[in-house]
Structure 1
Amino acid sequence: GGLGGPGRASGTQLHVTLPGLLLLSVYCLVSGLSAVYTEAILKAQALPLGLQNLFLYSFGVLLNLLGYFWQGAEGGFLQGFSPWLLLVVLSQALNGLLMSVVMKHSSNITRLFVISCSILANALLSVALFSLQLTPLFFVAVACVGLAMHLYYGL
């Protein structure tokens, strides 16, 4: 999957492969289950959101540090990090914190609508920046997101 095709020399048309579709399905299943579990944890506790985030993300930090020291600490902690990669890591951390606010004070459904709209916005940015050619399936996805928002929110 990705840009171009396996038999194409050039081009920027998006195509879908069966392994990519299967992996995407597994990702969606795991992501959905973990989001529902995280929402249940966030809403069941009366702790402040900052403290809940500290508890939830401390396990990830500890596991990553364990993996870092297990492999050996050669070259420094940020070896191989460019400023762009650091920006991506920081934006993903901010995204996680914002999603926890949405899940604490709204619902997981709202979070999914935010993600769906951001995917559509990223596709449009890819058209403008990378000359991606949108397929008719993109417009089917836009219609599905719009219909889902209409049915859920009555917009």
Structure 2
Amino acid sequence: MQWYFVAALLTVLTSSQGILTTLSQSNGGYKYDYATVPFLAEAFKLAVSSLLLWQEIRACPSTRMTTDWRSVRLYPIPSIIYLIHNNVQFATLTYVDTSTYQIMGNLKIVTTGILFRLFLKKKLSNLQWMAIVLLAVGTTTSQVKGCGEASCQSLFSAPIQGYMLGILSACMSALAGVYTEFLMKKNNDSLYWQNVQLYTFGVIFNMARLLLDDFQGGFEKGPWWQRLFDGYTITTWMVVLNLGSTGLLVSWLMKYADNIVKVYSTSMAMLLTMVLSIYLFTFKPTLQLFLGIIICMMSLHMYFAPPSMLVDYPPNAKAAPENLKEITVERKSDS
């Protein structure tokens, strides 16, 4: 039952992620360098994991920690993927609203299903593939713009750049999730030791990205460590804590549960995000959005439902063939 609580908490954090990021904007942009947010989030996760690892070693000196380079060298890969994903996420939210971003994020179920089949050799049932197709239909439906108004100039409700970035973000999220699950379950090492390796490389790569931005800008604004907190507000710090806490919960699910549980909990945040957006922003839900959400929720139910829930025969219908067979045998013996 413990993973149910973690999944529910992850749902809440995921639903507030896009909202907090949008609230941290000013006039449709960021006053702070949003590349510093993933760096601080990785540093936060590294600090928490190091503290928990230290406590675990004190309680159990025989804590399993693999230090072989053949194992350690695998950890930079998800760090690079998460680096790309986190920065694409900020760019996407400059083009689309929070509910649109959350719904487009459900595309990671499609990419996760494909990657599970290719890399983890996880076979999906026909019902699950039907759910994936239905999810794609629901996502598209939610984004179709109503053209009853005279000002309607485009079929879709956001610029094409927003959709392209949203698709890229979904692909990066699925790839990072599948690879991280493979990494976490590869051996029986301590979760905190695995996190320390993962987030150490995360800090290094995010720092390299900040240095690259300085070189490209000719150090006009000074080195990144001098302007690290420029433009930061309480909301921005909440974004950092949100990203950091979400990452820690995801790593726990990857170790002890399943990547599908993670995808399911983050996808369930879609409806919660839409409801909160109505009250926090000038967001007016459309009929297409409601239809898209209903279709997406149906697809999620189909994806995780056992096949017997789709077609359930009554007990009498199941027993009929057996009775018929018995009668046939009896007639044969009489003859």
Q: TM-score range by the shorter chain?
A: 0.7 to 0.9
Aligned to 1:28: 170
Select which of 125, 131, 150 maps to 2:276: 125
Structure 2 Cα separation of the partners of residues 2 and 66 of structure 1: 28
Aligned to 1:135: 286
Give CA deviations for 1:133-153 in whole Å, capped at 9, x if unaligned. 112332233323432342214
Give CA deviations for 1:81-117 in whole Å, capped at 9, x if unaligned. 2222112101110011011111211111111111111
Q: TM-score, normalised by structure 1?
A: 0.79
What SS does the corresponding residue of 2:237 show, helix, strand or coil? helix
Structure 2 Cα separation of the partners of residues 91 and 49 of structure 1: 20
Structure 1 Cα separation of the partners of residues 253 and 275 of structure 2: 24
Cα pair distance change 1:29/1:2, threshold 3 Å: closer
Cα pair distance change 1:67/1:2, threshold 3 Å: closer
Cα pair distance change 1:117/1:95, threshold 3 Å: same
Aligned to 1:2: 96
Cα pair distance change 1:137/1:109, threshold 3 Å: farther
Give CA deviations for 1:13-53 in whole Å, capped at 9, x if unaligned. x9233332222122212221121011110111211111111
Aligned to 2:264: 113
Q: TM-score, normalised by structure 2?
A: 0.39
Aligned to 1:45: 187
Cα pair distance change 1:132/1:66, threshold 3 Å: same
Aligned to 1:55: 197
What SS does the corresponding residue of 1:58 show, helix, strand or coil? helix
Give CA deviations for 1:57-94 in whole Å, capped at 9, x if unaligned. 11111123344466325635423322221121011100
Cα pair distance change 1:143/1:101, threshold 3 Å: same
Question: What stretches of structure 1 of length at least 5 have no aligned partner?
Answer: none
| Pair member with larger Rg | 2
Structure 1 runs, 4 residues or longer, greater than 4 Å off: 67-70
Structure 2 Cα separation of the partners of residues 143 and 104 of structure 1: 31
Number of corresponding residues: 148
Structure 2 Cα separation of the partners of residues 76 and 128 of structure 1: 34
Structure 1 Cα separation of the partners of residues 180 and 288 of structure 2: 31
Cα pair distance change 1:131/1:30, threshold 3 Å: same
Cα pair distance change 1:77/1:16, threshold 3 Å: closer
* C-alpha displacement of 1:55: 0.7
Aligned to 2:325: none
Structure 1 Cα separation of the partners of residues 269 and 181 of structure 2: 20
